[in-house]
A and B are shown apart, each in its own frame.
Chain A
Amino acid sequence: MKPARLVLSGRAIAVLATLILGAPFLVSSNPFLGFVVGVTLIHVLWSAGMNLLYGYVGLMPLMFAGIAGVGAYGTVRLTMDYGWSFWLAMPVSALCAASIGVVLGLPSLRLKGFYFTLCSLVIQTVLTLVFIYFAQFTNGDTGISQIPPPDLEFFSPNRLVGLPFNLVIAVVALAGVLIVSLIAASPTGQRLIAVREDDLLAETLGIDVVRCKVIAFFLGSLYAAVGGSFYASYLGFISPRSFDVLLSLNIWLMVAFGGRGTILGPVIGAVILVPIPFLLQDYFMLKDVVYGLLIILVMILMPSGIYGEIERRRAGRRAAALDRTRTAARAAAGRRVMP
């Protein structure tokens, strides 16, 4: 059997793993920074999932946050009301949320671009209303507080908190990024890219576009829901506002800012954009300006995002080098045949 191939090089994986797994240790003495790192890592996971849909299939699912909410509420209810272990409740609710995500993604089979985005906005609005009005399940606008951290049956302390919790989130986020890398390098990834570029042509090339979109929605929703479950346990509180359209837009921005359709781009986007509001919270007038300016600058100067631009330049250099080599080879061949 052929070994699985990753889009990232070994060196890139090593650097990424060191940064993601090392960050919780670096800030372990400062609870506030530890919290910022934890939230950032959850966003790394979310942006990897959004990247599958937006970066690889070209769809902008504004109901991403809603699906994360379904996963979060599901996990919270199963753990708090039915006494399930977090480690059982999280995958069960994530699978349910992913299945719901597939159903909610069905309009993408008919709608494209702006029209799908508009449709997903409506779906997100409906999900937010569901979170508000199905109060028996969600506790409505009040939200659910005192959500316990994940349990650890056979360890002491028997709750996952502090540095260990950050490390678990870091491992999940890293695994999420590496799985996207595996998918991108696989034939499925190539098919998703073809669907993004031209779905009509993709069908002509024998690609089952419906299947590709369903797979992407399932996986993307799984990322959303797993992230949502961790988010709820990490913050200890969720409400319908935790999973409104602003969260979807923020995650989408992280992907676009870092570089859609690249593996490291969304990670860079999340690592830069998530901490800004936390770190500048004392300068509340300034933080939105900095956030907005940064996004505008990147969008103007690097339309394909930070890492997208780096990859674009690299590809340009590779093509130019290839041209030079071939021109030299042709010239040499020409000299040989000239009398």
Chain B
Amino acid sequence: MILLEVKNLSKNFGGVRALSAVNITQATGETLGMIGPNGSGKTSFVNAVTGHLAPDKGMIYFGGDRITGLRPHQITRAGLTRTYQAVRVLAKLTVSENLATARLLHAERALSDDDIAALLDWLKLDHCLGHRAGGLTLFEQRRLELAMRLLLKPRLIMLDEPVGGLAAGEVREMIELLKELRARCAVFVIEHTMKVIRELADRVVVLIAGEKIADGPPAEILRDRRVIEHYLGAVHA
């Protein structure tokens, strides 16, 4: 069943073409990866889908409902949420205050305390509930981001470079967390680290200069001549 359907999505910034008639679908329970060089339109795509950027053309459907033109909070309420390339938490508030803020969305049918305790245990955040979020390590902040998004009970979570800035050991741990995350909701992930894409994604979309040039299983995409030429060349050399 199709969860996310993006049709002919286009966006220009003045004379710069950020997205050019991009068509993408994602099925329920599928993990979709998106790769491409810097400036290829990956974050613009996520911004447009999550309502942070108004597209010039195109339609976006989520769970069969049209979400084009909705505001970000309405899209979150529909069950689609995201993280940011630069980690974003309520830095001056404590971890528990951050979680309480995320919990507001479903105040009437919030996760039970046991579920939240299990979530915090899984993300290893139970030891720092009273700490200021801005004082946590980057990896802890990334995990806090995940916890906050999961409290929103999403059907799809879009992760923008979830291992950006992490140390090698932390990348490994994050990959394992994201593998388990796939059991909770559909995942869309933008990454430059091929290891993440290879291990997580069921399917990969490649954007170059705002155009989708390839779409398929990771193994196939990584062998694609155009992808190697435009993006992976240096990585694979």
Contacts and interface: CB of A to CB of B under 8 A. Distances in A.
Contact of B93 (A197, A318, A322): A197
Contacts of B76: 203-206
Contacts of B94: 315, 319
A159 interface: no
A203 B73 contact: yes
B129 to A, nearest CB: 8
A80 interface: no
A205 B131 contact: no
A192 to B, nearest CB: 11
A279 B94 CA distance: 42
A190 B130 contact: no
B101 A209 contact: no
B102 A205 contact: yes
A88 interface: no
A193 interface: yes
Given A190-B101, A205-B148, A206-B152, A200 B52 contact: yes
Contact of B107 (A187, A202, A315, A323): A187
B128 to A, nearest CB: 9
Nearest to B145: A201
Interface string B77-91: 100011010001111
Contacts of B84: 201, 204
B52 to A, nearest CB: 7
Nearest to B78: A206
Given A187-B104, A205-B101, A197 B91 contact: yes
Contacts of B181: none
A208 B104 CA distance: 12
Interface string B16-51: 000000000000000000000000000000000010
A312 to B, nearest CB: 10
A197 B73 contact: no
Interface string A297-339: 0000000000000000001001100110010000000000000
A204 B50 contact: yes
Nearest to A329: B127
| Chain A interface mostly | helix
B71 interface: yes
Contacts of A187: 104, 107
Interface string B188-232: 000000000000000000000000000000000000000000000
Nearest to B82: A204
B120 interface: no
B130 A193 contact: no
A114 B72 CA distance: 25
Contacts of B127: 326
Contacts, number: 73
B138 interface: no
Interface centre among B73, B77, B92, B105 (most CB of A within 10 A): B73
Interface residues of A, number: 24
B110 to A, nearest CB: 11
B167 interface: no
Contacts of A208: 71, 73
B2 interface: no
Given A194-B90, A206-B73, A206-B77, A319 B104 contact: no
Nearest to B71: A203
A213 interface: no
B117 interface: no
A8 to B, nearest CB: 18
Given A187-B107, A204-B50, A194 B101 contact: yes
Given A187-B104, A322-B130, A207 B90 contact: no
A288 interface: no
Interface string B86-123: 00111111100100111011010000000000000000
A237 to B, nearest CB: 43
B72 A197 contact: no
B131 A319 contact: yes
Q: Which among B102, B104, B127 has the greatest number of chain A C-beta atoms within 10 A?
A: B104
B104 A198 contact: no
Contacts of A193: 90, 93, 101
A322 B96 CA distance: 13
Interface string A173-209: 0000000000000010011011001101111111111
Interface of A: 187, 190-191, 193-194, 197-198, 200-210, 315, 318-319, 322-323, 326
14 contacts: A190-B100, A193-B101, A202-B73, A202-B101, A203-B72, A203-B73, A204-B72, A204-B73, A205-B102, A205-B152, A206-B152, A319-B94, A319-B132, A322-B129
Interface of B: 50, 52, 71-73, 76-77, 81-82, 84, 88-94, 97, 100-102, 104-105, 107, 127, 129-132, 148, 152
